[in-house]
Amino acid sequence: MTGVVELASFQELMVRTYGARDRERGVPATIAWIAEEVGELSRAIRKGTVEEQLHELGDVLAWLASLAGQLGLSLDAAAARYAAGCPGCGQVPCACPAAPAAAS
């Protein structure tokens, strides 16, 4: 495994690496790519190896960094919402009432 990467550094690296392409592609296409990558992550979780899961998780994170860059937003700022624990109740672990199970 490689070294630790901070969110801000990762986002800045993705902007330097892919920023021009990302801006040309635009936000709607980036959202479509994120959706596709989440689908690939889902498949890897259900049927893949740990290595495949890690690969797809990285791809999802890279596309989120791309989207954040296009929107002029910070992944660090987005993650800060959870810095004190659950944003709903402020507790760790969350003490919010559990959501009901989805109906089949």
Task: Give the integer Cα–Cα distance in Å for 64 and 31.
Answer: 9
pLDDT(99) > 90: no
CATH superfamily ID and name for 7-80: MazG-like (1.10.287.1080)
Average pLDDT over the chain, rounded to an integer: 93
31-58, pLDDT tens digit by residue?
999 999 999 999 999 999 999 999 999 9
CA distances from 78 to 14, 25, 40, 46, 50 (A): 17, 23, 23, 28, 27
pLDDT bin (cut points 50, 70, 90) of residue 79 is: very high
> Given this model, what pLDDT does residue 101 score?
61
**Mean pLDDT, residues 8-35:** 96
**Mean pLDDT, residues 12-30:** 95
pLDDT(104) > 70: no
> Given this model, what pLDDT does residue 4 score?
85
> Half-sphere exposure of residue 89, counting CA atoms within 13 Å on the CB side?
8
Report CA dihedral (81, 86, 89, 90) to the nearest 10 degrees: -70
pLDDT(3) > 90: no
Structure tokens at 19: 């920023």
**Residue among 34, 59, 54 nearest 44 (CA):** 54
Please state the pTM of the whole predicted model: 0.85
